[in-house]
Chains A and B, each alone.
Chain A
């Protein structure tokens, strides 16, 4: 059952009804039950992996909490990390490794021909593994108390709204909120429902429509060049944002219906001033996870400190401090790339982001000097627009790796951008032959404009949802009804309505 299925919406509506009928202290049981029912609707085999993660984390976190000796705790932590990340690696990356080994063996004249595994990839495993491992690490660090009720921990692992595509929650916030339950508050339901339909609008009106265009271009990039490729990548950027952020709105909205507030995963990412800023606004919970569990431990490690000291001696204080940070960034984005999928294109995508951020760090003093030299006011609106456009272009270059089926395909498509470049295709109607007609383009244009205005208002701290909620009842209802009935007909009708991040 996808998030836009009737089944999901019914599950949320009926689930909320039962949830609030139960006494507060038992409400978590209702959530657990509906989460398990929903997850098993994708097949029972999925449940086995969830149980594995839950049981190993439960036992080891309890054991860790009983130990005072850090070395022993670390050993136990290593066990749970190896077991769970090992399983993730086996399921997600093993075939990728086998494929590479086979190719490599062919190059050296020996055909290993290792058979690939035929295990069904469990849904949402990347998300719940990261989420549960953060719990284990926090228990190890004594940042959080271990959960003594295994079923409550199971709920944290498989909480219905978030388990397929995040956000990656933290036990100290999500886990405890789930266990405690929430009081019935009409405003939570109202807030949640509006957020759900905002998500549906993003997904159905914008993402599914933009996908058609982008997919037609990047499915056969050899056929297209110049402006077609630029239009295709712009459509892809609309698609990937609206699909993922729309999915998050649905998830967070569904959770709000139960009175459970989840961590935000997006904050107007296309308004970012630089790539680092973009990654603080895009998939925020993954970025935060990487920062807390990879970046800091790595950059504060003894080896990194040693490297920093040496670098300071050789390159001076500024660059000496920057080198370990740059290395940490490259490492993090390498992992982000790997997390996105078992393919070279994702690894290159990650490294591309890591290297640009590292370069930006290194060249920061030079940039600042140039800005001063040119007497540019760094807080002026035109300079900010320049920064946003520059970042948007960098982000879009990265999207080539995501949009194309392979890394070589992405480089080829980038090359094609500079071939047969003619603006004539914009005016002679050629772009309308790529899958979307005039009407579809108009809907897309208006939709993006609305999204842009909402984004600008949010940047200024104005929340339209709260603004609507304060309006008199008849006006509020009229707005809700119009919004609800607009999404359906203006949404694009296609059979493929899965969310792109649900495959992770």
Chain B
């Protein structure tokens, strides 16, 4: 009798401890969610994923910020004769692109994928904190998110995974405005007006951001190519992406959007090595690679004034001009028409020579 009573007390106290621990955890999660709601700023990526979910696209462009500023999907789509969605986002690594495609396939009947590769993303995977990753932060809840989560973030700083608001904590001054925005109908209907954008930028829909020519030129330049820093994991995801496309019968082409020719000339050896590396990879994977840094100047006349920084992000007007050519040659490549090659220089060196000759 005595020992059973003691056992009962022990059980009670165990239960009490478990309830207390669960209550504490729940409290932490609630506070975390409140912080997320009040501090995390609404971004374009959330809207882009929503647009993608509408399921009206049969071509998707994947890539990073060069693509989001450089490719108007409406113009590219006209050339491709496909409803095209530009899912290029600043900070989109190969793994992010792969999971974006997985998500896109759930809602769309995709038959063409254009994968824009900026070599910088192959060499700096380990230099960037997950807190700044737009794709991960906006990736909607889905079955794929579990796989994405395990592969992408379990190894990263716990703050990026568990405490997303960390990156925005200095927005506490705008907490009231953020909460009001998130409670507004515009936010609920994915209206881009809720996004705090650079005042020279306009979101044109379907993933394209138009930067006004009045924006003062930034000084940011390209990272140097360094083959020893190429992330094996990133290359693995390019291969996975290609094999997923092949498995689903989707045509795929690799591209690199044109960058400031002055930067290409300045870092000629790096661009040449990166071009050789990606070309070799594309060849191994049996995918056509169009490096638009090599497009002839008589096809696409460009200079530093077409880009708002040395790294190679385009102004909107240049982007619209470029998108038409981009769509045209990507379409030829996808159709197996090899005459597109005549519009490109044989190598980066020839392009630089032509640029300097101008």
Q: What is A's interface to B at a CB cutoff of 8 Å?
A: 1-2, 4-10, 41, 184, 186, 189, 204, 473, 477, 480-481, 484-485, 488-489, 491, 493-497
Contact B157 A5 (CB under 8 A): yes
Q: Are A481 and B31 in contact (CB under 8 A)?
A: yes
CA distance A186 to B14 in the complex (A): 9
Once bound together, how far apart are the Cα atoms of A189 and B17, in whole Å? 11
Given contacts A10-B154, A491-B159, A493-B167, contact A485 B24 (CB under 8 A): no
Q: Is the CB of A488 within 8 A of B159?
A: yes
Stretch at the interface among B121-129, B177-185, B198-206: B121-129
Q: How far is the CB of A34 from chain B (nearest CB, A)?
A: 14
Residues in A whose Cβ lies below 8 Å from that of B128: 495
Q: Is the CB of A493 within 8 A of B166?
A: yes
A488 near B166 with CB under 8 A, answer yes
Shortest B147–chain A CB gap in Å is 14
* Contact status A485-B156, CB under 8 Å: no
Contact A481 B154 (CB under 8 A): no
Choose among B14, B17, B20, B163 the residue that contacts A488 (Cβ–Cβ < 8 A).
B163
Residues of B in contact with A (beta carbons under 8 Å apart): 14, 17, 20-21, 24, 27-28, 31, 35, 126-129, 131, 153-163, 165-167, 169
List the 3 closest A-B pairs by CB distance, nearest first. A7-B154, A6-B161, A489-B169
Across the interface, name the chain B residue whose C-beta is closest to A186.
Answer: B17
22 CB < 8 A contacts A-B: A1-B155, A5-B154, A5-B158, A6-B153, A6-B156, A6-B160, A6-B161, A6-B162, A8-B158, A9-B158, A10-B154, A41-B155, A477-B24, A477-B27, A481-B27, A481-B31, A485-B31, A488-B163, A488-B165, A493-B166, A494-B129, A496-B127
Are A489 and B155 in contact, CB atoms less than 8 angstroms apart? Answer: no
Closest Cβ of chain B to A127, distance in Å, is 21
Query: Which residue of chain A lies nearest to B16 when distances are taken between CB atoms in the complex?
Result: A186
- Known contacts: A4-B158, A5-B155, A5-B156. The answer to whether A495 contacts B127 by CB under 8 A is yes
Taken together as a complex, chains A and B put the C-alpha atoms of A95 and B197 apart, in Å, by 52
Min CB distance A439 to B, Å, is 10
Contact of A493 among B21, B24, B129, B158 (CB under 8 A): B129
Q: Which residues of B contact A489 (CB under 8 A)?
A: 165-166, 169
**Which secondary structure characterizes the binding site on chain A?**
helix
Nearest CB of B to A479, in Å: 12
Tell me the nearest residue of chain B to A491, going by C-beta.
Answer: B159
The CA of A6 and the CA of B153, in the complex, are separated in Å by 7
Task: State in angstroms the CA–CA spacing of A115 and B105 once bound together.
Answer: 49
Min CB gap A273→B, angstroms: 38
Q: In the complex, what residues of B have CB within 8 A of residue A480's CB?
A: 24
Report A-chain residues with C-beta under 8 Å of the C-beta of B28: 481, 484
Given A4-B157, A10-B154, also A189-B21 (CB < 8 A): yes
Give the complex CA separation of A73 and B20 in angstroms.
54
Give Cα distance in the complex from A488 to B39, angstroms.
Answer: 14
Instruction: Report the Cα distance A10→B17, complex, angstroms.
Output: 21
Tell me which of A1, A41, A491 contacts B166 (CB under 8 A).
Answer: A491
Minimum distance in angstroms from B289 CB to a CB of chain A:
28
Q: Please give the distance in Å from B114's CB to the nearest CB on chain A.
A: 29
Bound Cα distance from A68 to B65, whole angstroms: 72
Report Cα–Cα, A484/B25, bound state, in Å: 12
Give bound CA distance, A484 to B162, whole Å. Answer: 12
A4 to B156, CA, bound (A): 8
Which of A1, A7, A9, A41 neighbours the largest number of chain B CB atoms within 10 Å of its CB? A7
Residue of B nearest to A189 (CB): B21
Distance of A189 from chain B, by nearest CB (Å): 7
Query: Does B154 lie within 8 Å of A495, measured CB to CB?
Result: no
CA–CA, A485 and B172, complex, Å: 14
Chain B nearest CB from A400 CB (Å) reads 27
Q: Which residue of B lies closest to A184 (CB)?
A: B14
Query: How far is it, in angstroms, between the C-alpha of A4 and the C-alpha of B153 when the chains are bound?
Result: 12
Q: In the complex, what residues of A have CB within 8 A of residue B27's CB?
A: 477, 481
Question: What residues of chain A lie closer than 8 Å to B163, measured between beta carbons?
Answer: 485, 488
CB-defined contacts of B24 to chain A, threshold 8 Å = 477, 480
Which residues of A have CB within 8 Å of B154? 1, 5-7, 10
CB distance from A485 to the nearest CB of B (A): 7
> What CA separation (Å) do A494 and B129 show in the bound complex?
6
A189 to B160, CA, bound (A): 24
A495: B residues at CB distance < 8 A = 126-129
Q: Enumerate chain B residues within 8 angstroms of A477, measured Cβ to Cβ.
A: 24, 27
Q: A204: which B residues are within 8 A, CB to CB?
A: 159
Give the Cβ gap from A48 to chain B, nearest Cβ, in Å. 19
Q: Which residue of B has the minimal Cβ distance to A42?
A: B155
A5 CA / B160 CA spacing, docked (Å): 9
Q: How many whole Å from B125's CB to the nearest CB in chain A?
A: 9
Residue of B whose beta carbon sits closest to that of A6? B161
Known contacts A477-B27, A494-B129: A7-B21 contact under CB 8 Å: no
Nearest-CB distance from B193 to chain A (Å)?
A: 28
Nearest-CB residue, chain A, relative to B156: A5
**Chain A: minimal CB distance from B318 (Å):** 31
Minimum CB distance partner of B154 in chain A: A7
Contacts of A496 in B (CB 8 A): 127
Q: How far is the CB of A14 from chain B (nearest CB, A)?
A: 12
Closest to A489 in B: B169
Alpha-carbon distance between A473 and B21 when the two chains are bound, in angstroms: 12
Tell me which residues across on chain B come within 8 A of A184, comparing CB atoms: 14
When C-beta atoms are compared, the residue in chain B nearest to A187 turns out to be: B17
Q: Which of B14, B21, B158, B169 contacts A6 (CB 8 A)?
A: B158
Q: How far is the CB of A199 from chain B (nearest CB, A)?
A: 12
A residues less than 8 Å from B169 (CB atoms):
488-489
Which of chain A's residues have a CB closer than 8 A to the CB of B127?
A: 495-496
Q: Min CB distance, A192 to chain B, in Å? A: 13
Distance in angstroms between the alpha carbons of A176 and B35 in the assembled complex: 44
In the complex, the answer to whether A2 meets B129 with C-beta atoms within 8 Å is no
CA distance in complex: A8, B156 (Å):
9
Q: A6 CA to B160 CA in the complex, in Å?
A: 8
Interface hub of A10, A189, A480, A488 (most chain B Cβ within 10 A): A488
Excluding A9-B158, A489-B169, 11 further A-B contacts by CB distance (< 8 Å) are A2-B157, A4-B158, A5-B158, A6-B153, A6-B156, A186-B21, A485-B35, A488-B159, A488-B165, A489-B166, A493-B167
Contact residues in A for B156 (Cβ distance below 8 Å): 5-6
User: Which residues of chain B come closer than 8 Å to A7, judged between CB atoms?
Assistant: 154-155
CB of B130 to closest CB in A, whole Å: 9
Give the residues in chain B near A6, CB-CB below 8 Å.
153-154, 156-158, 160-162
**How far in angstroms is the closest Cβ of chain A from B229?**
13
From A1, which residue of chain B is reached at the shortest CB distance?
B155
User: Which A residues lie within 8 Å of B131 (CB)?
Assistant: 493
Closest partner residue, chain B, to A494 (CB atom): B129
The distance from the CB of B168 to the nearest CB of chain A, in whole angstroms, is 9
**CA gap between A1 and B156 in the complex, in Å:** 7
Q: Give complex CA distance A307, B178 in Å.
A: 77
Q: In whole angstroms, how far apart are the Cα atoms of A203 and B238 in the complex?
A: 34
